[in-house]
Amino acid sequence: MRKWIVPGAVAGLLLAGLVAGAARANAQDGGAWRAASTNATSITSDIAILKDKLSIDYLIYPLAPIRTLKPVEVSAVFDADVNAGISGMLYRLNIPGAQLFLHKNTLCGGEATQWMATYVTGHTLEVAFFSGDDMPVFTFDAISKSTDLCGTFGYAR
């Protein structure tokens, strides 16, 4: 009986490591990104997405991955081909509305930034920030009428 405990524990740890590694492998948006779009260069500068943190212009904010975005959801927010088999990621965060970035700009006016959607293609990262307590609805109709979409930003590696 005892000889099965250690191999079982080792197998359990290996399985947990594989699951965690697979989840992180899907997070293609991780790491440091250089500002590439006009919005990014004039408001946020460079960013870095870490396991549980977001760094914007050397300021650190807690970050929680919520779920993977489907291709149709990514296409609703970003200029992306829905048939390309793409996916994105939705995160929860809390950046105060009064937080000033480059040139005294804010992300969402006077409202707190509560959500971040990301999409990676090649060496390019697209980010959309949202205000509002409720999770954004990722349909073309909802996004086009949304008052919670603060803006989209482009980054590169």
H/E element, 69:
strand 59-69
Task: Please report, for the chain, the start and end positions of each structural domain, with discontinuous segments joined by +.
Answer: 29-156
List, for residues 69-114, the tens digit of each pLDDT value: 999 999 999 988 877 778 899 999 999 999 999 999 999 999 999 9
Mean pLDDT of 132-145: 96
Neighbouring-strand partners of residue 118: 89, 127
List, for residues 110-120, the tens digit of each pLDDT value: 999 999 999 99
